[in-house]
């Protein structure tokens, strides 16, 4: 999902030391990569798949917020708090989450922070020279003189705030100031027990105050928190809608941060004051179930005397263990940093959503418990984005997590009257984007050996969604265009065998057709494994042909009367979602030979022109609707299509060019919105030299390995090894390949490689080779 696009050239430096495996991959991670506006990542403290993510929320000092969906933007160096939840790389503004910013403030609290809509007073500048982010810990000294040091467990955190001497020391709990505002918030202060508790009712996504849900029910959640301090509280107060009440211990009130004039000066919160120069250790826990759940999570995960150093060390060790699931050998320091930071970003989501006792908030807004055998309920699914790379990498490395995620999505769908939503924010359906991404997601999990979920129940539910119009989905509303629920206007689609632009109730008819065709193909692959009758779904996988206009040679929006949408050019976005016809025309990974036939044998030359300008120079950084866009998802698979067209050497050259010039280190190291790890997952696959061939299947395409050796350790014990001893900037072409010691002529690896493991060895050369071409 797009926000804005900017590319970056990766500065390659000479390899450091011998080609040995990276011993501490966590040390190579830079959480600030992608934190400029384009990547929309954030640098705060978090555990793998963590519920809590404690990170700064910045402000420009006006009513425009940060301009980023995650609350942090590298070039906005003014903080209004450290909030407890975040989405990594979401492409919209205002964003989502950023719940309960807690601001260490120096000086007298003598006016309401919500009245101060420009954050002129209740915020502080900072310098990146005084900021440090490592996996599991975030530290910054603000210009106000306060040092904030944060670390977390999965559902709790400990922060240490060191205030300057001689001035009042305060912590502001801005309960109503979630990034996308709030419907209601409350805070309670218990000075004698050194404690603050509260909650916020929020959840509106991407600026939309009511995201639909079943029959237009709002998809809000309530986040509860509990916080306690090791220092005495010497003063306290609350505020509501611009009015400060010194000494008050309770306040309620909705709305929130001033992202618009309607919210300016509104909201509620509270503050506690400590002696000047205090060093305050705060312990807190969160829950989406109840305040008692937050208390229980805190007790279970944080020792009463736990310090930031202790918790941060445990978090760092956990990240080191997770990142060791991929062991790379060789490469430059910059390449290793880019690689392991990308893997770090992939493993931030999905997010654990249940309390330690197994309870969680369902999509029906009722409290449920984990299913038998389920270890965790996971929330948030950026479906349209993630199913193109992130979910495959999740399934490859963490099949146990992928299975629980699949079960979580199935349970949310059951609670939502059978509707599998495209984009879940925590538990809530948002209807964002287009297509039916849950289908290829779970089909891919099943193909890649993920078994720890109700495979038959989930398949039956998704197949029914693909075949039978759900009246509740028809009645939902609320995404760009006229999107409604999942599989909107399904009966029309089934009757016409394409989504008509003027009657599809969708973002774009051609895009919807392509997305549905791929979803149906993946469901057919899954159903065949289960022995189901999927002949109709298999046939529907070819319906992409019904929006391919042979007269122009591109995908094109089509009307209900069968006519083509007028005024066509390859750069048009009419009929498409966040992409042009030039990009979407290639979105047929399930039938590359069929696409080549439709292009009358010109597919290779047309693909060449997609990656090069009219002078033959590389054009892979984005900026043209006629060419490859690395910043957004519809075309992420296109560099790998050369394999299916019989010229894998061009895949190797293209992916290496993107890896070397589009991705890199530093805050601008991601080319666009990471979209919950999707762009990062693409980089990880490309650097390894493998990429999923088709959603719903487990075969892997072979590209150009960046590192001499990579070992992937699946959480189920399976091991995959990719060796390319002679790889280099010059030697980027595969001359020969062996699989488990036997020569392999095909430019793809079979399902058995993923399921049972194996070892491939690529002999690399500096010129395009004939390996992988049809014989």
pLDDT reading at 534 higher than 80? yes
Please give the DSSP secondary-structure letter assigned to residue 371. Answer: P
Task: Share the mean pLDDT of the chain.
Answer: 91
CA dihedral 635, 639, 642, 643 (to 10 degrees): -100
How many angstroms separate the CA atoms of 102 and 108, rounded? 16
The CA distances from residue 507 to 478, 510, 572, 624, in Å, are 11, 9, 14, 21
Between 83-92, 476-485, 509-518, the lowest mean confidence (pLDDT) is in 476-485
How many angstroms separate the CA atoms of 678 and 744, rounded? 30
Under DSSP, is residue 580 helix (H, G, I), strand (E, B) or coil?
Answer: coil
Structure tokens at 168: 């009042």
Kindly state the average pLDDT of the residues 707-712.
Answer: 98
Q: What percent of the chain has pLDDT over 90?
A: 82
User: What is the C-alpha R_g of the chain?
Assistant: 26
The dihedrals phi and psi of 149, each to the nearest 5 degrees, come to: -130, 115
Structure tokens at 448: 């890649």
pLDDT reading at 498 higher than 70? yes
Using alpha carbons only, what angle is made at residue 499 by residues 498 and 504, rounded to the nearest 5 degrees? Answer: 155
Under DSSP, is residue 485 helix (H, G, I), strand (E, B) or coil?
Answer: coil
Cβ neighbour number for residue 313 with a 10 Å cutoff = 14
Structure tokens at 282: 């705060």
pLDDT tens track for 230-245: 999 999 999 998 899 9
pLDDT reading at 18 higher than 70? no
How many angstroms separate the CA atoms of 359 and 369, rounded? 4
* Bridge partners, 78 (sequence order): 125
pLDDT tens track for 362-399: 999 999 999 999 999 999 999 999 999 999 999 999 99
The larger pLDDT score, comparing residue 702 to residue 16, is at 702
pLDDT reading at 529 higher than 50? yes
CB neighbour burial string for 566-596, b if at least 16 within 10 angstroms, e if fewer: eebebebbbbbbbbbbbbbbbbbbbbbeebb
The reported pLDDT for the residue numbered 219 is: 59
> Among residues 134, 131, 130, 173, which one has the least CA distance to residue 47?
134
How many angstroms separate the CA atoms of 573 and 37, rounded? 24
Domain coordinates in residue numbering, the chain: 25-321
pLDDT tens track for 406-427: 999 999 999 999 999 998 999 9
Confidence class of residue 1 from pLDDT cuts 50, 70 and 90? low
The reported pLDDT for the residue numbered 220 is: 78
pLDDT tens track for 264-315: 568 899 999 999 999 999 999 999 999 999 999 999 999 999 999 999 999 9
How many angstroms separate the CA atoms of 539 and 543, rounded? 7
Please give the DSSP secondary-structure letter assigned to residue 174. Answer: -
Kindly state the average pLDDT of the residues 512-518.
Answer: 97
* Bridge partners, 760 (sequence order): 722, 739
Q: What percent of the chain has pLDDT over 70?
A: 90
Report the DSSP pairing between strands 53-58 and 351-352.
Answer: unpaired
> Among residues 60, 42, 150, which one has the least CA distance to residue 97?
42
How many angstroms separate the CA atoms of 299 and 281, rounded? 16
CB 63 within 8 A of CB 371: no
Q: Positive or negative, the Cα torsion across 518, 524, 525, 530?
A: positive
Cβ neighbour number for residue 14 with a 10 Å cutoff = 6
Kindly state the average pLDDT of the residues 225-232.
Answer: 98
CATH match for 25-321 among 2.40.70.10, 2.70.98.10, 2.120.10.60, 1.10.10.60: 2.70.98.10
CB neighbour burial string for 531-556, b if at least 16 within 10 angstroms, e if fewer: ebebeebbebbbbbbebbbeeeebbb
How many angstroms separate the CA atoms of 556 and 775, rounded? 35
Confidence class of residue 177 from pLDDT cuts 50, 70 and 90? confident
Kindly state the average pLDDT of the residues 106-132.
Answer: 88
CA dihedral 459, 463, 464, 468 (to 10 degrees): 170
Which DSSP string corresponds to 631-665? TSGGGTTGGGHHHHTT-HHHHHHHHHHHHHHT--S
> Among residues 170, 85, 158, which one has the least CA distance to residue 124?
170
The reported pLDDT for the residue numbered 470 is: 81
Confidence class of residue 65 from pLDDT cuts 50, 70 and 90? low
The larger pLDDT score, comparing residue 735 to residue 66, is at 735
Using alpha carbons only, what angle is made at residue 135 by residues 666 and 13, rounded to the nearest 5 degrees? Answer: 35
The dihedrals phi and psi of 605, each to the nearest 5 degrees, come to: -65, -35
How many angstroms separate the CA atoms of 177 and 162, rounded? 24
The reported pLDDT for the residue numbered 500 is: 97
Which DSSP string corresponds to 426-464? TTEE---SSS-THHHHHHHHHHTT--SS-HHHHHHHHHH
Structure tokens at 302: 């944080």
pLDDT tens track for 445-468: 999 999 999 999 999 999 999 999
> Among residues 690, 521, 666, 506, which one has the least CA distance to residue 591?
521
State the number of CA atoms in the 13 A half-sphere of 320 facing the CB.
Answer: 10
How many angstroms separate the CA atoms of 48 and 50, rounded? 5
The reported pLDDT for the residue numbered 116 is: 63
């Amino acid at each position: 999902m797009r926000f804005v696009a900017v590319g970056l050239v990766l500065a390659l430096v000479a390899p450091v030391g011998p080609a040995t495996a990276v011993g501490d991959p966590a040390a190579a991670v830079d959480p600030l990569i992608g934190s400029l506006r384009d990547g929309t990542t954030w640098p705060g403290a978090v555990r793998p798949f963590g519920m809590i993510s404690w990170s700064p929320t910045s402000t420009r000092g006006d009513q425009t917020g940060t301009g980023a969906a995650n609350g942090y933007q590298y070039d906005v160096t003014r903080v209004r708090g450290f909030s407890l939840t975040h989405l990594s790389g979401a492409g919209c503004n205002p964003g989502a989450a950023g719940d309960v910013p807690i601001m260490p403030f120096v000086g007298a609290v003598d006016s309401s922070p919500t009245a101060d809509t420009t954050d002129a007073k209740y915020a502080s500048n900072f310098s990146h020279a005084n900021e440090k982010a490592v996996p599991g810990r975030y530290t910054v000294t603000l210009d106000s003189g306060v040092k904030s040091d944060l670390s977390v467990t999965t559902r709790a955190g400990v922060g240490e705030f060191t205030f300057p001497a001689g001035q009042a020391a305060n912590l502001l709990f801005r309960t109503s100031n979630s990034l996308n505002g709030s419907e209601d918030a409350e805070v309670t202060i218990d000075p004698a027990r050194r404690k603050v508790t509260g909650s916020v009712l929020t959840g509106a996504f991407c600026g939309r105050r009511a995201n639909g849900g079943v029959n237009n029910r709002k998809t809000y959640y309530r986040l509860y928190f509990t916080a306690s301090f090791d220092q005495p509280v010497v003063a306290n107060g609350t505020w509501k809608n611009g009015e400060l009440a010194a000494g008050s211990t309770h306040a309620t009130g909705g709305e929130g941060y001033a992202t618009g004039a309607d919210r300016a000066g509104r909201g509620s919160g509270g503050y506690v004051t400590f002696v000047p120069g205090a060093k305050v250790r705060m312990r807190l826990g969160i829950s989406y179930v109840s305040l008692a759940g937050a208390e229980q999570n805190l007790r279970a995960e944080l020792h009463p005397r736990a310090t930031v150093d202790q918790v941060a060390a445990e978090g760092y060790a956990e990240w080191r263990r997770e990142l060791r699931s991929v062991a790379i050998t060789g490469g430059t320091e910059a390449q290793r940093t880019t690689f392991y930071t990308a893997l770090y970003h992939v493993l931030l989501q999905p997010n654990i959503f249940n309390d330690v006792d197994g309870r969680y908030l369902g999509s029906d807004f009722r409290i449920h418990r984990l299913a038998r055998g389920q270890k965790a309920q996971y929330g948030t699914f950026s479906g349209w984005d993630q199913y193109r790379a992130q979910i495959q990498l999740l399934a490859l490395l963490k099949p146990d997590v992928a299975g629980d995620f699949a079960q979580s999505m199935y349970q949310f769908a059951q609670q939502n009257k059978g509707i599998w939503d495209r984009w879940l924010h925590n538990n809530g359906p948002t209807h964002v984007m287009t297509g039916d991404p849950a289908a290829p997601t779970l089909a891919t999990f099943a193909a890649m050996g993920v078994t720890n979920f109700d495979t038959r129940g989930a398949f039956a539910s998704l197949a029914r969604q693909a075949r039978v119009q759900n009246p509740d989905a028809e009645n939902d509303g609320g995404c760009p265009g006229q999107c409604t629920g999942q599989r909107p206007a399904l009966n029309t689609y089934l009757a016409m065998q394409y989504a008509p632009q003027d009657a599809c109730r969708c973002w774009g008819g051609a895009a919807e057709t392509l997305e549905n065709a791929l979803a149906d193909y993946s469901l057919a692959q899954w159903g065949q494994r289960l022995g189901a009758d999927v002949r109709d779904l298999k046939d529907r996988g070819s319906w992409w042909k019904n929006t391919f206009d042979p007269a122009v040679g591109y995908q094109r929006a089509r009307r209900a009367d069968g006519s083509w949408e007028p005024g066509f050019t390859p750069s048009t976005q009419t009929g498409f979602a966040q992409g042009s016809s030039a990009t979407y025309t290639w979105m047929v990974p399930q039938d590359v030979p069929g696409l080549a036939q439709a292009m009358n044998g010109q597919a290779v030359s047309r693909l060449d022109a997609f990656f090069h300008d009219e002078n033959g120079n590389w054009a892979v950084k984005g900026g043209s609707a006629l060419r490859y866009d690395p910043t957004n998802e519809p075309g992420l698979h296109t560099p790998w299509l050369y394999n299916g067209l019989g010229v894998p050497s061009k895949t190797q050259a293209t992916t290496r060019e993107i890896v070397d010039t589009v991705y890199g280190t530093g805050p601008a190291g991601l080319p666009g919105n990471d979209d919950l790890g999707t762009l990062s997952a693409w980089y990880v696959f490309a650097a390894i030299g493998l990429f999923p061939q088709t959603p719903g299947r487990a075969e892997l395409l072979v590209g150009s390995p960046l590192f001499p050796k990579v070992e992937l350790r699946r959480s189920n014990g399976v091991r995959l090894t990719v060796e390319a001893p002679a790889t280099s900037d010059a030697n980027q072409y595969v001359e020969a390949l062996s699989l488990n010691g036997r020569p392999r002529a095909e430019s793809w690896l079979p399902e058995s490689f993923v399921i049972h493991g194996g070892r491939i060895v690529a002999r690399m050369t500096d010129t395009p080779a004939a390996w992988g071409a049809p014989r």
